[in-house]
Amino acid sequence: MEELKVFCPATIANVSCGFDVLGLALAKVGDEMTIKKTREPGITISKIEGQDLPLDTDHNVAGVAAKALLQQLGDSYHGGFDIAIHKKIKPGSGIGSSAASAAGAVAGINQLLDHPFSQTALVRFAMQGEKLASGVAHADNVAPAILGGFTLVRSYEPLDIIKIPTPSLLYATILHPQIEIKTADSRKILKTSITLQSGIKQWGNLGGLIAGLYTNDYELIGRSLEDHIIEPIRSILIPGYDIVKQVALKTGALGVGISGSGPSIFALSKGKETAERVAEKMYDNYDTIGLEFDMHISPIASQGVHLI
């Protein structure tokens, strides 16, 4: 293959009790990326549609991630790759815009090269893109973007990523308020210590959530989608968060949380109809606030970056 076009899914990181470890990929929200083999060595980005982002590969997450992959290939590959990105995910939305670009670039190139790298290796390359975007080489968005479904980042040293099964009726509803939260701010307000009691609640809930995902137990998933540690702190940065959460839960959502470090709010529901009803109610409610916002409804993606 000389050229391919891939879908690069948007992702939700910090899924409630899974702060910093649990993420998921969306099937219907994501970027598109066209990658071509080139004779000239190295990476070029020839076009970015939809957003005003740098074409310079040292200042673009897709470029940085792709270069990390090329560097690992070393002398065994003499050509290069050109990337054209159609950004559909808004940067700063909290649904993994940078991760989609980084993941798409490395997973796409890996496919063009007939899969020399494992998925964990690809995550490692894509993490370099995340480092450019946020200063931290975190994996909670790039892991689900590459592997699909739910992923657990058990450990960073060594990098240990576990794909968790996704119940087929699970849908995400996302409300993205068009406000900017600086990553630095959303980090700064976190406490460096937590009570042991809240920690115990959190790992009890994460255990319940993982069990619910393995057994398609939607009620257990719902009971486990709680976060007593991060949500109470970060939600104050998101106007209308508490009200919209209550509305979504009342309408039948299994759980509601902050996507990544916000500002997007996500709800998980059993079945498309419930997810749509939840979206309607969230919409009606948020509309009264007067802020601009986007909404998405999507099943959880069973696969990560893939050919289209």
Catalytic residues, which ones? 130, 183
> Considering only residues 115, 154, 182, 272, which one is a binding residue for its own copies as defined by CB under 8 A?
154
In whole angstroms, give the CA distance from residue 27 to residue 11: 9
In whole angstroms, give the CA distance from residue 105 to residue 99: 10
In whole angstroms, give the CA distance from residue 119 to residue 61: 18
> Considering only residues 223, 249, 276, 280, which one is a binding residue for its own copies as defined by CB under 8 A?
223
In whole angstroms, give the CA distance from residue 170 to residue 167: 6
> Considering only residues 76, 168, 192, 288, which one is a binding residue for its own copies as defined by CB under 8 A?
192
- Quote the least distance from Cβ 187 to its own copies, whole Å: 11
**Is 291 near its own copies (CB under 8 A)?**
no
> Considering only residues 155, 178, 246, 302, which one is a binding residue for its own copies as defined by CB under 8 A?
155
- Quote the least distance from Cβ 267 to its own copies, whole Å: 21
3-class secondary structure, 17: helix
**Is 210 near its own copies (CB under 8 A)?**
yes
Q: Cβ neighbours of residue 30 under 8 Å, at least 6 residues apart?
A: 7, 8, 9, 10, 88, 89, 100
In whole angstroms, give the CA distance from residue 102 to residue 150: 18
- Quote the least distance from Cβ 128 to its own copies, whole Å: 21
Nearer Cβ to its own copies, position 60 or 166? 166
> Considering only residues 46, 118, 195, 246, which one is a binding residue for its own copies as defined by CB under 8 A?
195
Single out the segment in contact with its own copies by CB under 8 A; choices: 20-28, 91-99, 101-109, 264-272: 20-28
- Quote the least distance from Cβ 234 to its own copies, whole Å: 13
**Is 201 near its own copies (CB under 8 A)?**
yes
* HSE-CB for 23 with a 13 A CA cutoff: 31
Token duo for residue 251:
């309408």
Which residue in this structure is represented by tokens 């899914």?
A: 9
Token duo for residue 196:
């042991």
Binding residue count for its own copies, defined by CB under 8 A: 38
Q: Which is it for strands 255-258 and 42-49: parallel, antiparallel or unpaired?
A: unpaired
Residue 129 CA: distances (Å) to CA of 60, 113, 255, 267: 8, 20, 30, 27
DSSP symbol at 50? S
> Considering only residues 6, 12, 17, 147, which one is a binding residue for its own copies as defined by CB under 8 A?
17
**Is 162 near its own copies (CB under 8 A)?**
yes
**Is 118 near its own copies (CB under 8 A)?**
no
**Is 196 near its own copies (CB under 8 A)?**
yes
**Is 65 near its own copies (CB under 8 A)?**
no
Q: State phi, psi for 152 to the nearest 5 degrees.
A: -110, 120
**Is 194 near its own copies (CB under 8 A)?**
yes
**Is 50 near its own copies (CB under 8 A)?**
no
Under 8 Å between Cβ of 209 and 19: no
Q: Which residues bind its own copies (CB under 8 A)?
A: 17-22, 152-155, 160, 162, 164, 190-197, 199-208, 210-211, 214, 220, 223-224, 229
